[in-house]
Amino acid sequence: MMNSSPEVLWGVGIIILAVVLVYGVMRAGRLRRSERERIDQRTIELQRAEQQAERSTASPDFGLKPNVPYAILIPILVAAFAVGWMIWSMHGTSMGTQQSSIRQGRTTGQAMPRQTKQPVAAPTVPTNGAESDSWRGQHTPVNK
């Protein structure tokens, strides 16, 4: 009786696979002259058909040239546009004239007006009276 351990089965499977692959490689390498001519002719016909299909359904040319590095040019143009836009948006503002107006004693008119009344001073030390216990709603003692 033959030993049918898994290692033996794997070995037989590998040998069968190797034989099949060698046969396929040997068979594929030998084409008859008529087969090779037929395959070459069919390949040429398919290439011509693909070229005609590409010409008839060619995507529109947007004027992009293949030698220009658009991946670098487009971000540079966007950044330049953003800087120009920032400069243009600051054109009507003070842009640095604020320092000169402070030296001359002028204000920009943006400051809050000064308070004329003095604020009420809070007691520094809380008293023990009912008025200092704000947690009680009514001014009543804690224990009645």
Parse the chain into domains and list their residue ranges. 10-56
User: In this model, does residue 41 exceed pLDDT 50?
Assistant: yes
pLDDT in tens, 57-66: 766 666 666 7
Report the range out of 31-35, 54-58, 98-102 with the highest average pLDDT: 31-35
CA angle 57, 62, 64 (to 5 degrees): 115
3-state DSSP of 50-89:
HHHHHHHCCCCCCCCCCCCCHHHHHHHHHHHHHHHHHHHH
**pLDDT greater than 70 at residue 107:** no
- What is the rounded average pLDDT of the residues 112-128? 71
**Which structure tokens are listed for 139?**
């001014």
* Contact (Cβ atoms closer than 8 angstroms) between residue 80 and residue 72: no
